[in-house]
Each structure stands twice: as structure tokens, then as C-alpha cells.
Structure 1
């Protein structure tokens, strides 16, 4: 990943924060919920339909990243014109990138408010490359996106008796968000840091997206010594 010019506050893996952040960016019709485990019984508890899955996991060095990318090469290759993919060039912006991936790849199901950030972003970036989309976001950071992200990141720090300023150690987090979506019968991992771009990691249908993502995540977890994994599902609003 190119050296970041900006460094944002890290987002928490919190469904309420992601749902509210999506709303503030102009998206309605989508909401997030926790996935408490990868067993069949726990997956069955998740509201349907699931239209995206967001994973928070620990970055375990260059060797681990390259091994995971090689595994993904074997799983099905990279690149799809039907998948909306954005590179990440802003440090700690992975939560926002994952959210944008979830929203942009479900623009046919969600409602984007006219003139909102997400509506304008998808419209302006539809024909751009992933790198050009990243540059667009860098420009938009100065126009309010960074402050919106940081407000979402600080949401859990405000209003509670135990609230405290974020530490330098927390700013230098080794945790990273990626998003999984379905497109044309494929399960796609969208990781803004990846050298491979949008990567097909398996097969699934719209109905089996969650189960397909769970299988891919199990493989990632099996090669990790860490237990710091958090999983959220993006579903259609139940209202």
C-alpha cells in the first residue's frame, strides 16, 4: 500500500455505528448486525437477506498477507467489472472503505438520498479505476468525509462515564476491515489494501453469501494464531 498522507481514527466493529454512519452518508434500507459465530446454528440466527459481510481481523505481517493472497489466487482469481472496488490510501480508513463497498455493491437494493455523499460518490466514480476512486476519497476527506468518519469512530467514546481519549497505540491499530459481497455467482473479498484488487475467493449465490463468507473466513482464521476476529452482516432493513 502506498504511504498514507492521512491517518484517521480507527472504527470499532459496532453494528449500530456502521448503520448510523451509512445513514449519515445518505444510505437507507441497509442495517448491520453482529454475527456471533461461524457454526450453522449461529449463522441461522442472522436476519436475512444478507447482502454483505464485514470482517475485522488482525494484520499479521507481510508473510501472512502474501500467503493469504496466494490462497485467493488459487480460489478463483481477481478482477470483475461487476464489482465496485476502491483502493485504500488513507491510514485507518479501512472501516469506511468496507462500508462503502457494502453500500456501493448494493445500490440496486439500498436507497441513496439525492445529493448525499454516497449518491455522489457512486455517480462520480462509476467509470473510474480503483486508484482514481481512492484519490477521489482523499479529496473528499477535505470536504467532510474525514470528519464524518472520525465522528463515527468517536461515537463509543462519547457520553459514557468510562469515555477516554484514544491512545497512540490504538491509533496504530493492527486490525483491518474487509468486505465480502456476491456478484455473478462469485464470493468477492474487497480489501482496499490488497495487491490483487477485488478477489474472488469462492462461489456463492445471493442466498448463500453469509455461508460462503463464513467458509472463507474459517480458512483465514485457521492460518492465524489470533482470536481477534469480529464479524458483521449487512442486511436489508427489517422496518
Structure 2
């Protein structure tokens, strides 16, 4: 690392512990598998959502006059915490902060360090807030701590190979009775009309997201939606629901384990395992048995690849 920002995954466990590491209290993320308002409402209270989508390359994404949906609120760019995106790979954390900084109230405790950062940057215009964010060691280090270990370099990108699809994060949150879309690539916050209460938010944001998804081809399914909600362990304790509390604690442990795996590369471990397997095969049957084993493995791999091609390809990992 040379002071840059690494790519992190759109994952509830990543975003939840990223918040924890920044000092935010009693908040977590939940992944939503549907845009139905009922699914969002079940997580009440919902402070906002972060939407991940494929960055369009066939049509202009930004506009200085009018967005594809909603309307620019240029006055809000000064009054809300809104930062222009000035760096790559940080759009997920920027969307998270855009939502968090504007929901600081009696329900959301953003912590002392983020509160100081907010107080300092609110006096700046959006483009300088983006610069302040890009130069924040606190936020950058917390962000990069969740980057996956990548021991290999993709040389095809340097040799003119086909570029990978790019993805982008934006935040939607109700602020002062209005539903806002906060996207650092746009010139100002985008208003989507009145959103008088937390109860109105699920239906309002669902309609906006459905219109957004409808602009893509039916074959495009690489979307991800994360809701920022109150720590569900707090509600379980308040209700005395031991089963729910145990379930949420188990989820946290699973997230911690997954995050730990992201920080390590297992090339050395895999090499040691493979070496041990080869030595075992050689002891059991010599070179002839080893050769048969290799050929069998190649045949099975070819079958798997053929089956994957017939099934339409493998999974796509979405990051931003």
C-alpha cells in the first residue's frame, strides 16, 4: 500500500465492522434480497440503504442539468454532509459516510472521531470535503483493513485485455422530511420528494430503486442492497428475546471469521497442502499411480468447466 484505497466487498459484515472500527455505536448493516417495501420495513428502524450497481458505460451517468430521476438540490449540497468523490475504490465507504453523517441524532452515535471529522469538513464545499475524506488516515486505514488479500497481479489488464465491469455505490436516506440520493459522482444531492417519516421510507425508496433497476437490460442481475439499521442485538435485549440475541451474536461471530479470512492470502497454505498430497500419492503408488491421479483430476476439471459453460458461467463477485 502506498497511501491508496483498496477495493472492498459489498457485504453486511464488512460494512458493520467498518462502522465499529470507526467508533460508531449500535448500528449494523443487513443485506436485502428484494426491493419489496415490506422487506425493508421489517428491519425498522432503517436509517438508509446503500445500493450497488453496474456503472453504465453506454449512456452518460452524470449531468450538470438534471439527473435521470429526481432533481438536484443544490442548496442541500452546502447544508447536508455531501462530498464529491475524488478517489477510486472508496465509493462504498463514501456512501456509508454520506448516510451516517446526515443521520447523526439521538438514535445514531457516530463516535468522537467521526464527529470531529464532520465538524471540520462541514465548513468546506463538497469538493474539498471529498479531498479531506481521501486524505483521512483514520477512514482510509479502517477501509483498507477489509480489503481482500490479492497475491496475484492480473497482467492481462496491462496488455490491453478486456476491462472488468465497474460497480458503484450510492446512498439513499431520509433527511428533514425529504428522501435524498447521495452520490459523490453527481454535482449535488438528488431529491426524490417528500418522506415525512421513517414509516414512509420503505415504500418511497423501493419505488426509486425499482425505477433505477428498470433502466437496465433484463439480463443484468448484479445488484446489491444493504440497509443501515439499529443494532439488532439491542432490540433483542430490550425485548428479552434470548433466541434472537443468540442468533444475532452468532451472526457477528460468523462475520468476524469471514473478515479475518479476507485479510489473509492462502497461497502458501495451499502450496503446502498440495505438496503433502503429492508426497502421499507418491508413497502410495509411485509415479505411475501419481500420473493416473493427475489425468483423472484433469478430466474432472474439464467436465466441471463444460458444465459451467452450459449453465451460463460462474458467479460474479460485486465490489466497489
The TM-score with structure 1 as length reference comes to 0.81
> Take 1:63 and 1:7, find their aligned partners in 2: how far apart are those partners?
29
Partner of 2:190: 199
Structure 1 residue 64 displacement after superposition: 4.7
Larger RCO (CA under 8 A, 6+ residues apart): 1
| CA 1:133–1:166: 2 relative to 1, 3 Å | farther
Partner of 2:239: none
2:142 aligned residue (148, 153, 176):
148
Give SS of 1:28's match: coil
Counterpart mapping for 1:1-239 below 5 A:
8-44=5-41, 46-61=42-57, 63-66=59-62, 70-72=67-69, 75-79=70-74, 80=76, 81-108=78-105, 109-114=107-112, 116=113, 118-140=114-136, 143-154=137-148, 165=151, 168=154, 174-194=166-186, 196-207=187-198, 208-225=200-217, 226-238=220-232, 239=234
Structure 1 residue 165 displacement after superposition: 4.2
Structure 2 alignment gaps of length 5 or more: 158-162, 235-320
Structure 1 alignment gaps of length 5 or more: 158-163
Superposed CA deviations along residues 53-91 of structure 1, whole A, max 9, x for unmatched, are 100001012615158x5333xx33323154211111110
The TM-score with structure 2 as length reference comes to 0.62
| CA 1:175–1:6: 2 relative to 1, 3 Å | farther
Contact 1:179 1:190 (C-alpha < 8 Å) held by counterparts: yes
Q: RMSD across aligned C-alpha pairs, in angstroms?
A: 2.6
Contact 1:51 1:181 (C-alpha < 8 Å) held by counterparts: yes
Greater fraction of residues in helix: 2
**Bigger radius of gyration among the two:** 2
Superposed CA deviations along residues 67-120 of structure 1, whole A, max 9, x for unmatched, are 8x5333xx3332315421111111011011011112101111311333x2x122
